Structure 1
Amino acid sequence: MNFALFMFIALLLTGSVWLLDHFVTGKGRPEGVKEPWWVEYSKSFFPVILIVFCLRSFLVEPFKIPSGSMIPTLLVGDFILVNKFDYGIRIPIINKKIVEIGNPEKGDVMVFRYPKDPGVDYIKRVVGVPGDKITYQDKQLTINGEKIKTISTGEYSYIESGLNYATTARYNESLGKHNHEIIVQPEQNTYYPSQVEDFPGRENCVYKQNEFTCTIPQGHYFMMGDNRDRSNDSRYWGFVPDKNIVGKAFLVWWNFDHFKRIGTKIN
């Protein structure tokens, strides 16, 4: 079950018990008689659940990184905080925006609901916003005819799976207001045609050998992982609609295996 929905149900249950006791069942209770346990618990938990629900729904929400698609920016096991406010105020559960505040910008690291299964949260980097024409050819990203600047910074090694080490080429990429690191494996394909799915707006994309070009429709975003060759992203399943946006990742607040990462800002 969606956690926000679970919290909302808990909020309704505890709040209803509290109100029912206050206005109905508690009226005839003799003074000094202890409240039933379910009433006592509801009164205790309701304000806590309300505060947590409001914080998670409108201000900040925690997430855990389950995969290596955003290495080296985010590592497996990172616990991160996501700003729910920057991209507008949304009604919890249905995620409908009711107050415009801002929109995702190129280079932002964003959490969103996976278009193929909205019950699953994904995190990637925004590489294209509505109206952009992006091309990815031979590991070079081009947006609206302008090549995105990348500078080689040597090699990067990490544990890919189990005890297997992967050594990749590392680059500093300048995307929008963000300077961040990406890793690529030059000998691998830019994308794998067999993994490209049929997705809404597929007609906006042209796939060629070791190259693809997409024009992003209004109200949608194109996402890619910083671990470019180990990321299941918009290359394969398409655009992220605005209604699927969860928020902007901004801080690593915990990692059981890498304590030095605690407090790391996400760029």
Structure 2
Amino acid sequence: MNAKPNRWVAVLLGIFLQPGAMLYVARPGWALFYFLLALTMGVLGAIYSRAQSGENLIVLIQFAILLACAAHAYHLARTYPDGKRRPAYSRWYGLLGAMAAVFLIVITVRAFVVEPNRYPSSAMLPTIPRGALLITQKWGYGNYSLFGVNVHRSPITSPLVRGDIIVFEFPMDRSVPFAQRLIGLPGDKVSYKGGRLVVNGEALALRQIADFMDPKTSERLRAFVESQGDIEYSIIRQQEARDTASMVVDFPHRDRCIYEADGLTCDVPPDHYFVMGDNRDQSADSRVWGFVPADHVVGKVRYIVR
């Protein structure tokens, strides 16, 4: 029972499971170090995955880390003191238990607390660039799922405020996650005409700022700062607004919206929300496909990693 760690098992674990390799050679402090290092590299990989050069550098660093860990684990296994009793966590059942615990923690955090999402659209420019990483708070919004599999549902208990960016299941296909700006709460009257937004009879403050340069088309677009209460955010508009009314589909509670040549007015139903993209003339949103039911809300975007 006091057998020294096998050097080649330590090497294999160092290549494929660095924290496990350190536990195997009875070095829990080093196991924590490699675990935190793996988390850091995972975050950096997610941040720089849009830049080919940055992604290549991260891959090289990760490869260097696993080689260094394998060599480190080999050395610690070779120099493990003869006759020293190995703790339970360094044996196969301890390693399996540690891996199961880490796995459970990771899936619990992702299902119930926070979740990263890659944003594929330009509908939220200039706030969210195409391909940006969104860190979404899920706790308190009642829609807990993991990789498309629902785990638990409960009523929303955390506040949603006009101007928040929320992540939700697309009403026409709940398997597709969307992220857009919350404009109208249940019971609100929302009007969007001639490029001006009015909520409950109050026009939102709007001031023009420097033009936005679309990184994809190099087109200069008019940019504005819009305000909802204490929340300010930037929006962009085309020189000629797109005819949204021609794109409208049939959706639940469509009778609560009145479409006119210059825009629309909607009464938001109970337990529903009205959302819009910040790229106002290049966004399919509640103007086109309707309201977001409360049980479709996944969470609120807390951080945008560009």
Instruction: Give TM-score scaled by structure 1 length.
Output: 0.74
1:110 maps to 166
CA distance in 1, matches of 2:213, 2:268: 33
2:123 maps to 69
1:12 maps to none
CA separation of 1:42/1:204 partners in 2, compared to 1, >3 Å: closer, same or farther? farther
Of stretches 169-178 and 208-217 in structure 1, the one that deviates more from structure 2 is: 169-178
1:245 maps to 297
CA separation of 1:67/1:88 partners in 2, compared to 1, >3 Å: closer, same or farther? closer
CA distance in 2, matches of 1:115, 1:222: 12
1:212 maps to 264
Preserved contact between residue 116 and residue 133 of structure 2 (Cα < 8 Å): yes
CA distance in 2, matches of 1:206, 1:66: 31
Preserved contact between residue 95 and residue 244 of structure 1 (Cα < 8 Å): no
- Structure with greater proportional strand content: 1
Q: Which amino acid is 1:210 matched to?
A: D
Q: Which amino acid is 1:179 matched to?
A: E
* Greater RCO, CA 8 A, separation 6+: 1
How far does the alpha carbon of each residue in 1:166-194 deviate from its partner, in whole angstroms, 9 at most, with x for none? 211110100133101100113223x4222
CA separation of 1:91/1:246 partners in 2, compared to 1, >3 Å: closer, same or farther? closer
Alpha-carbon deviation of 1:103? 3.2
Q: Which amino acid is 1:74 matched to?
A: I
Any gaps of 5 or more consecutive residues in structure 2? 1-91
- Structure with greater proportional helix content: 2
1:148 maps to 204
Alpha-carbon deviation of 1:252? 2.2
**Aligned Cα root-mean-square deviation (Å):** 2.1
Q: Percent identity?
A: 35
Counterpart selection for 1:52 from 106, 115, 118 = 106
| Pairs within 5 Å for 1:185-264 | 185-189=238-242, 191-253=243-305, 255=306
1:126 maps to 182
Of stretches 167-176 and 199-208 in structure 1, the one that deviates more from structure 2 is: 167-176
The alignment partner of 2:107 has SS state of helix
1:13 maps to none
The alignment partner of 1:118 has SS state of strand
CA distance in 2, matches of 1:88, 1:95: 13
Counting matched residue pairs gives: 212
Any gaps of 5 or more consecutive residues in structure 1? 1-37, 256-267
